[in-house]
Amino acid sequence: MDNLPSVIICGCAKDCSRYIDGVFKNIEMLKEIFEVRTICIAFDVSSDDTKSKLLKKKEHYNIILLEDDRPLINCTSDGKLRVINICNARNRYMKYLSDLKDKPEYFIVMDMDDVCSKKIDINPIKLVVNDSDNWDGITFDNPRYYDFWALSIKPFTVSCFISDDILNTMRIMLKNLQEKRKGDSLYIDCESSFNGFGIYKTRFFKCFYSPLHMKIIHDINDIYQCFNDYSIKYSNFFENNIIDCEHRAFNMIAKIKYGARLKICKQQIFDDYTGEHASWLYE
């Protein structure tokens, strides 16, 4: 590409020192595809040297650290509560992006942990950027897909963690994903996804993240179909103040309000995932 499309790379960092070097090697490779204007990182107080490593990277990269002086929610006894801290961090980089007068064409959301620290294959990214007329937000598949909390593919649009049988729902979602992979199409249509790395057209994502289940964004017909076809029940659907993955509202509001077309590219950009998330599905 003669004129590289502009991008800001966004991420959240907490206790991820050992992965920083690998992530930045991948950011360096992304410069073959994008004009990287800024690396915008929402940083939360860490127990390791994450901050000092990021400050060291500032010697070679245009990095903006967005720190928050609000105390973190103590989530040691409840893993779901982590999403509130992560959501607050993500909204810091979205606030930075929304305040820019000269906005980039794209922004990339990239996890700063193990998910994005191994060597990236940029060829699928080149492929989808050259085909950007067909999508507005895109993530990438992996044979060991792990991010089922963020994943919404019709009719499984409600969080699997709201279902009455979480583990069985995830198994059914995995089987559905495996079926969607078949065929010649490059993409899988979705309502929400993440899986550690996403590319978004800035003009379609003028929204913020939410850590709460939002009933209004869901089609009740999806719930009926899940029950009728798969015996999946969402008994808590109408309850208030239920924690949900922050990506779901972010993606689905962009689709509903701004008409964003959301896709999962069937090609993978990282090796088969071997981390702890959802590892039991593949053992």
At residue 72, the pLDDT reads 58
> So what's the pLDDT on residue 2?
63
d(C-alpha 91, C-alpha 96), whole Å: 8
* Sheet strands (E) in the chain: 6-13, 35-43, 63-67, 106-110, 137-140, 187-189, 197-201, 262-265
Residue ranges and CATH numbers for the domains of the chain are 6-268 (3.90.550)
One-letter identity of residue 281: L
Q: What is the pLDDT of residue 82?
A: 79
**φ/ψ of residue 99, rounded to 5:** -80, -15
CA proximity to 109, closest of 125, 87, 93, 126: 93
pTM, full prediction: 0.94
Query: What does the pLDDT read at residue 77?
Result: 54
pLDDT per residue, tens digit, the chain (283 aa), is 468 999 999 999 989 999 999 999 999 999 999 999 999 999 888 888 989 999 999 999 999 999 876 655 565 555 567 788 899 999 999 999 999 999 999 999 999 999 999 999 999 999 999 999 999 999 999 999 999 999 999 999 999 999 999 999 999 999 999 999 999 999 999 999 999 999 999 999 999 999 999 999 999 999 999 999 999 999 999 998 899 999 999 999 999 999 999 999 999 999 999 888 878 888 7
Instruction: Note the pLDDT of residue 70.
Output: 64
